Amino acid sequence: MPLLAIESSCDETAVAIYGKSSSSDNNGLLASLISSQIELHKDLGGVVPELASRNHTQRISPLVAEALEKAGLGAQEIDAFAATGGPGLASSLTVGHSFAKGLALAAKKPFLSVNHMEGHLLSPFVGEEQIPPHLALIVSGGHTLLIRVRLVGDYQLLGQTLDDAAGEAFDKVAKMLELPYPGGPEIEKLAKTGDPTAFDFPRSMLNENNLDFSFSGLKTSVLYTLKKLPNPRERLPDLCASFQAAVFEVLIAKALRAARREKLSLVTLSGGVSCNATLREQLSAACHEEGLTFRSSPPSLSTDNAAMIAFAAYHRLRAGQTSSLSTDIDPNLKL
């Protein structure tokens, strides 16, 4: 049952083909290609929507052709087409969504419009037939969410950021420290040789009895600290390690609080920030200590990719769901 999915919600054009087959030894992924636009936006300090959508338009057709070739399939052998319908940048979403609808129309096959956050949410399970009940922590560039998952499609939002997303805080702090875009991996690299206790940055909302987050105060605190330092460049590793520690302490404490409160024994981590090995190790250790099982999306499926979109579409299709060809994108789509 090969299914082709396109992801184009931000600055990665991605195409994946998912379907259990005897020749597939990669969790059912027959192809998963990502064409990153990072180089294009790097010197501009962030994603420029107009540039991003024009670039998706250029890259999408060759990437679909390459994915089909890699999977050894013709377009007529694909049984369903999917694309990210939101949330994301409107002009970027439109490219992949319209392209997938066109492919579905031409092939007379079902179309599925997929929520990008559902893709992240299910990414720790790619290749599996059953999604167990669990507590999901999704940490990406646009979202920080704690979600109770009962089964595919039954999601309860328990907590979220009230201002900046965790990844957004990484990117903004990296910009202050004059590190290249995207900031998350740069901060992780520098933090490796820094002291996480060197600066006592605030742990916002840590002691409030809720499951929400706030990272904008932390960002401001880094800025004030930076202004007071005579040679901030010499303290980059310590600044990065201390900033990271402040973000992760709150994420981990609230994820565990949520799991305890909801009596869930499985905790998952996904989204771009879950690429960070320190976060994965610390959350894993904290879960272990509490007797909880921990799963993270593999790093290759943590940042934006189409494999997670194909996988979410696969489960929706299995549940008998499809989307109409008149389905529109929604830049603010909620889970």
User: Residue 137 Cβ, how far from ligand KG4 at the closest point, in Å?
Assistant: 13
Q: Are 55 and 40 in contact (CB under 8 A)?
A: yes
Within residues 109-148, the interface with Zn ion by CB under 5 A covers: 140
Q: How far is CA 41 from CA 106, 153, 263, in A?
A: 34, 34, 43
Q: What are phi and psi of 212, to 5 degrees?
A: -95, 165
Within residues 124-183, the interface with ligand KG4 by CB under 6 A covers: 140-142, 167-168, 170-171, 182-183
Summarize the annotated binding site for Fe cation as residue ranges. 116, 120, 304
The yes or no reply on residue 46 touching ligand KG4 (CB under 6 A) is no
Task: Please state, in angstroms and rounded to a whole number, the distance separating the CA atoms of residues 49 and 57.
Answer: 12
Summarize the annotated binding site for substrate as residue ranges. 138-142, 171, 184, 188, 276
Task: Please state, in angstroms and rounded to a whole number, the distance separating the CA atoms of residues 168 and 216.
Answer: 9
* Residue 276 binding partner per list Zn ion, ligand KG4, none, with a CB distance cut-off of 5 to 8 Å that depends on partner kind: ligand KG4
Cα angle vertex 237, ends 233, 239, to 5°? 80
Q: Which of 59, 304, 308, 316 binds ligand KG4 (CB under 6 A)?
A: 304
The yes or no reply on residue 276 touching ligand KG4 (CB under 6 A) is yes
Within residues 273-312, the interface with Zn ion by CB under 5 A covers: 304
Nearer to ligand KG4, 171 or 238 (CB): 171
Structure tokens at 111: 């179309």
280-287 contacts, C-beta under 8 A, 24 or more apart:
282/248, 282/252, 283/137, 283/248, 283/251, 283/252, 283/255, 286/252, 286/256, 287/256, 287/259
Q: Which of 110, 159, 184, 194 binds ligand KG4 (CB under 6 A)?
A: 184
* Stretch of 76-84, 207-215, 268-276, 324-332 contacting ligand KG4, by CB under 6 A: 268-276
Nearer to Zn ion, 249 or 330 (CB): 330
